[in-house]
């Protein structure tokens, strides 16, 4: 059985890692500075994180390029795979980040604006390098809509249908973020996570809502996710990566538990 992955997420705004309660509130005082991205990445690497995700959370909204320097410095100190997203609009952008040390690039708004970017990236670098991140919000009793621009702009796209299309175009992984749950620590959206996991043949990373260890076990089990992504519970010291992994292992979830993982 494939092991489940535990992935800390670093939301980077103006070169610092930040965290807020409501999704997409980078400009109106809704964010709290929680530290230097490289220092935090090294901490999570030492705790035994399976991967690390960097999101430049205002790059798409403001047209800024992503943080090449942060990736270079992190890759020099960490041995876990790195995924970076935010402001990636071309295969040249992808190449720059992969060359800087990223293992995967994550695209969201640009994938919807130019779906051919998914297939172009997969053809040039391999599907294993192309992650499509989906920000989904429940807009009707049985419908989740895709939003872009940091959750500011509805697209009219059904989240499940878009996930399927992204994989057909060459995405090797889906990161599914629930806008409703993000930052609330009230638990992942199990229903949409399960539906997308069942609809696509690639790994699905659940994002948005982690507040307890049980939430993570639930989304890996009932939500059928392949990995859990979290920010607040790690950044503010509620749990370490080791805490999560030991809990999951004790509850029958297969995880990588090397001796070097810190509890």
* Annotated catalytic residue within 56, 93, 135, 189: 135
* Annotated catalytic residue within 11, 50, 182, 189: 11
- Torsion sign, CA atoms 64, 232, 212, 251: positive
Residue 231 token pair: 């920010």
46 is catalytic: no
What gap in Å lies between CA 211 and CA 181, rounded to an integer?
Answer: 10
Q: How would you classify residue 90: left for phi > 0, otherwise alpha for psi between -120 and 50, otherwise beta?
A: beta
What gap in Å lies between CA 256 and CA 241, rounded to an integer?
Answer: 11
What gap in Å lies between CA 5 and CA 158, rounded to an integer?
Answer: 27
Which contacts qualify for 23-26: CB closer than 8 Å, 24 or more apart?
Answer: 23/135, 23/150, 23/151, 23/177, 23/179, 23/182, 23/183, 23/208, 24/149, 24/150, 24/151, 24/152, 24/179, 26/57, 26/58, 26/61, 26/150
39 is catalytic: no
What gap in Å lies between CA 156 and CA 72, rounded to an integer?
Answer: 37
CA distances from 15 to 23, 68, 101, 112 (A): 18, 11, 17, 26
Q: How many CB atoms lie within 10 A of CB 82?
A: 24
**What is the set of active-site residues?**
11, 135
């Amino acid at each position: 059985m494939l092991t489940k992955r535990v992935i800390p997420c670093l939301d980077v705004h103006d070169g610092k890692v930040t965290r807020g309660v409501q999704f997409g509130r980078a400009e109106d005082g809704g964010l709290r500075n929680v530290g230097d991205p490289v220092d935090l990445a090294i901490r999570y690497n030492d705790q035994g994180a399976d991967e690390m995700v960097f999101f430049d959370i205002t790059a798409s909204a403001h047209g800024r390029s992503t943080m090449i320097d942060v990736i270079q410095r992190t890759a020099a100190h960490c041995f876990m795979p790195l995924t970076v997203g935010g402001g990636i609009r071309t295969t040249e952008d992808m190449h720059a980040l992969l060359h800087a040390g990223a293992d995967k690039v994550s695209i969201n708004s640009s994938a919807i604006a130019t779906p051919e970017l998914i297939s172009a990236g997969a053809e040039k670098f391999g599907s294993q390098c192309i992650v499509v991140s989906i920000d989904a919000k429940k807009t009707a009793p049985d419908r989740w809509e895709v939003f872009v621009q940091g959750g500011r702009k509805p697209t009219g796209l059904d989240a499940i249908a878009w996930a399927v299309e992204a994989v057909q175009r060459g995405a090797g992984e889906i990161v599914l973020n629930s806008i409703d749950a993000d930052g609330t620590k009230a638990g992942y959206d199990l229903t949409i996570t399960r539906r997308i996991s069942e609809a696509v043949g690639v790994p699905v990373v659940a994002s948005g809502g982690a507040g307890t260890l049980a939430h993570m076990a639930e989304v890996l089990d009932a939500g059928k996710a392949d990995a859990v992504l979290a920010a607040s519970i790690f950044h503010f010291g509620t749990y370490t990566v080791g805490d999560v992994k030991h809990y999951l292992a004790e509850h029958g979830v297969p995880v990588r538990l090397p001796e070097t993982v810190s509890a």
